[in-house]
Structure 1
């Protein structure tokens, strides 16, 4: 019996075996990993994950999928969690399911388009617990996330991803690979987490929030955007002078080190 995808959950199922293998291979060859899959659907990806890795935790909001998944997968290393992913306490879940402190933890998901940003930023928040994330998302979002300074699509999401991880646009997935067929193509991206940048600021969440505000109006100069945050153009000008940043630059041409220096100098005036 064919399973009908539910629009309210943003479901689009993939079944192409070659594509599934290609996605899973991005997670690497270390089978001793805890894998968290968000939105397993009918389990095409899940079954192969269970066969390859030590433990797979599948988080699914659609209760109709539970019986389907349990009928397909009976392995002891498969854990099913019926929940809205936005309500899951990932820290508690990982601490509970990790077999030891050295075990790598990776997240994988064919992300529902309507909560892509929420899942991304929740993933960033637990970056210190993760080794890697492999996400399928709308192609245009993937392009923005993987953009570098000076590129047209570079924005606050690009900076946030680079702040927390080494980001990589893996490959494009044609919309024809899904059932039902969505209106747009998708892409696979990977994030390999690191803490190089995190140790350079006092609060990573505040840093990301600060950068988001600087991109509120990309057409404005960094001086004008910073003036909006400080509510004082003179103070904004002094901050930029102290770090030697050209006041006429726009956010899309500013790099990671400059954003970090700008945030740290801004933090001193609070």
Structure 2
């Protein structure tokens, strides 16, 4: 039976064996891990995952895929969950499926392009529970996530990813590898969670939101963007002086450490 990809779910299927192996290899070779796959589709990646890792949980929103996956994958270490990834409680899933308390947990997904940002931020909020995440996304977005200060694509998403994890642009996946063929190339990125920055701010969520606001107008200087937040240009200038950040710089040339300094001086 031919399985048609559904546009409203952002589905694009891959079947190339070498590519699938390369993606799974990006997760590493720690067989004891709990793997959570978002959007398994027809199970091309899933089958490889259950053969390598101790436990695999697949979350799929498309009801038509449930029968296909359950028929294809009968391994005891596989669990299927029908549901919307944006509404699912990941903490509960992790708690219920860990075989032992300190088991490492990783996420993997061929991300639907229309909810890439939402899934990414949901993942970052789970950083304390995760060891690693491997995502396939549009190349343009992947470049943005992995961008460093001073690069054209550097934005609040770049800063947020760096705050929580060591980020790496793994490799490009040409659009011809998918069925149906999408309009743009994709890329694989990995996030290895370190959580060392969580102790540097009073609230990671408030910090990430603060940085987002500082990038609201990229053409404005950091002083003007900070003034929009504080409502007081003199106070904003004082914050930047204490953080040793020049007033005329733009947000895209400021490092993660710089943003942390600005945030903490604003809080005082």
Following superposition, the deviation at residue 196 of structure 1 comes to: 1.3
What's the counterpart of residue 253 of structure 2?
A: 253
Following superposition, the deviation at residue 173 of structure 1 comes to: 0.2
1:175 lines up with 2:190 in the alignment:
no
What's the counterpart of residue 95 of structure 1?
A: 95
| Counterpart Cα distance in 2 of 1:6 and 1:258 | 43
Query: Moved runs in structure 1, 4+ residues, more than 3 A?
Result: none
What's the counterpart of residue 235 of structure 1?
A: 235
| Counterpart Cα distance in 2 of 1:56 and 1:120 | 20
Structural mapping, 1:137-216, within 5 Å? 137-216=137-216
What secondary structure does 1:258 align onto?
helix
What secondary structure does 1:87 align onto?
coil
| Counterpart Cα distance in 2 of 1:178 and 1:231 | 49
Gaps of 5+ in 2: none
Q: Which moved more, 1:126-135 or 1:94-103?
A: 94-103
What CA deviation, in whole Å up to 9, does each residue of 1:42-67 have, x standing for no partner? 00100010000000000000000000
Q: How many residues align?
A: 268
What secondary structure does 1:85 align onto?
coil
Q: Which moved more, 1:259-268 or 1:127-136?
A: 259-268
1:19 lines up with 2:19 in the alignment:
yes
What secondary structure does 2:35 align onto?
strand
| Counterpart Cα distance in 2 of 1:184 and 1:243 | 40
What's the counterpart of residue 266 of structure 1?
A: 266
Gaps of 5+ in 1: none
Following superposition, the deviation at residue 195 of structure 1 comes to: 1.2
| Counterpart Cα distance in 2 of 1:26 and 1:231 | 45
Following superposition, the deviation at residue 234 of structure 1 comes to: 1.0
Following superposition, the deviation at residue 99 of structure 1 comes to: 0.8
Following superposition, the deviation at residue 242 of structure 1 comes to: 1.5
Following superposition, the deviation at residue 93 of structure 1 comes to: 0.7
What's the counterpart of residue 49 of structure 1?
A: 49
| Counterpart Cα distance in 2 of 1:260 and 1:74 | 48
